[in-house]
Structure 1
Amino acid sequence: MNYGMISAAGALELGDMLFGLITFIVLLLVVGKFAWKPVVAMMAARQDKITSDLDYADNSRDEAEKLLAQRKSELQSTQTDAVNIINTAKANGEAQSKKIVADAHAEATDLKSKAEADIAQAKQDALNGARDQVADLSVAIASKIIGKELSTSDQQALIDDYIKGLGD
């Protein structure tokens, strides 16, 4: 009798086990059909988003590095342009300074030449005026001393002698 109870208990246990196994398999199929696929799809979508975000970050970093290199190149070019502009301005300033000095020197030389010419002309005019005055005075003096009129050629000879004496 003892054996009979054990076998009925074993059969009951085996039936429970088969029921539990079939329920587990059915539950696994239901979960696989209704829950597993959406979870897998959700995980795949999440993985795709993370991959996309990482690719976007890599592309953004590469683009930022290219932009940085471009900005550095533009800055170097701008600095070179600035140096060239400064050098050109210096050269233009020096050239203009030299031109102004040369023009001033030329103007001073012209003024000096004109002044010398004016001085020479004034000296010549003064000598001519003095000669005329000396001629008139010498004729007047000679007339009084000699008491007679001198001829024009005699007057001219006296004047020339007198002027030579003044020049020496």
Structure 2
Amino acid sequence: MRRDVDWSTLRRSALAVAVVVGVAATLYVAGDAFAADAAHGDGHGGLGLTPEKLKDLGWRAMNFAALVIILVKFLKKPIVDGLRGRRQSIREEFDDLESQRSSAEGEYQQYASRLSGLDDELKKMVETAIAQGELEKERIITEANEAAEQIKRQAEMAVANAVAEAKVNLKLEVAEQASAMAEEIIKKNLQPEDQSALVEGYLAKVGGAA
């Protein structure tokens, strides 16, 4: 923080400047007086510094010093107010910049945290997707195995049914062919008297049963 203006030191400095300027003005006027005296001297070797000239120099020096003091006195408040206002403005600008810097740092930390959380979230999403993919693969493999087993069982049952049906058909066909062959043989080898004997025997059985 800047230190306040030391006006006592400023006044002393102004007075010192006034004295120096007054002395310089006195020497300047004195030099002019010496030059004029040397050019227009009366030959007596006098300096030509009359009391009126010395009084005039003194008044001029006092007037200059008074002017400096008046300027310092009346310009003190505007200068102080201006310096204070400028210092307040600089402080406000500095506070605003500090606030902006803090806000920017906070936003940066927030974005960095979001990016870090986003990386973690993406990692979790990838891990979840991989786990779900593994589960889906296992489910598909299990369903495929079950479907294959079911198809196998159905094929085995179809084959067994086909074999059983073929056996039945074969037996029926063999029985029919055997019956036809037996009938053919009987027809060829059976004599009329044999037919009469068979009829009588059949009638006897029927009558006995009755």
**TM-score normalised according to structure 1 size:** 0.72
CA RMSD of aligned residues (A): 2.7
Paired residue for 2:162? Answer: 118
Report deviation, 1:138: 1.5
Higher relative contact order (CA 8 A, sep 6+): 2
Mapped pair 1:144 → 2:188: yes
Report deviation, 1:63: 2.0
Structure (1 or 2) with the larger CA radius of gyration: 2
Q: Determine the C-alpha separation between the residues in 1 that align with 2:168 and 2:141.
A: 40
> Matched residue of 2:166: which SS?
helix
Paired residue for 1:52? Answer: 96
Q: Determine the C-alpha separation between the residues in 2 that align with 1:37 and 1:47.
A: 15
Q: Determine the C-alpha separation between the residues in 2 that align with 1:59 and 1:7.
A: 75
Paired residue for 1:164? Answer: none
Mapped pair 1:26 → 2:70: yes
Q: 1:51 to 1:10 in 2, by over 3 A?
A: farther
Higher helix content, 1 or 2: 1
Out of 109, 118, 128, which is 1:65 matched to? Answer: 109
Out of 168, 175, 181, which is 1:131 matched to? Answer: 175
* Deviation string, structure 1 residues 50-105 (Cα, Å, up to 9, x no partner): 22112211221122112211221122112211221222123112212221222122
Letter in 2 for 1:83: E
Paired residue for 1:155? Answer: none
**Count of aligned pairs between the two proteins:** 149
Mapped pair 1:87 → 2:131: yes
**TM-score normalised according to structure 2 size:** 0.60
Q: Determine the C-alpha separation between the residues in 1 that align with 2:67 and 2:170.
A: 148
> Matched residue of 1:118: which SS?
helix
Identity score, percent:
9
Q: What stretches of structure 2 of length at least 5 have no aligned partner?
A: 1-45, 199-210
Paired residue for 2:152? Answer: 108
Q: Determine the C-alpha separation between the residues in 1 that align with 2:55 and 2:113.
A: 81
Report deviation, 1:41: 0.2
> Matched residue of 1:44: which SS?
helix
Q: What stretches of structure 1 of length at least 5 have no aligned partner?
A: 152-168
Letter in 1 for 2:123: Q
Report deviation, 1:137: 1.3
> Matched residue of 1:113: which SS?
helix
* Deviation string, structure 1 residues 26-68 (Cα, Å, up to 9, x no partner): 1112222234412430232122112211221122112211221
Mapped pair 1:17 → 2:61: yes
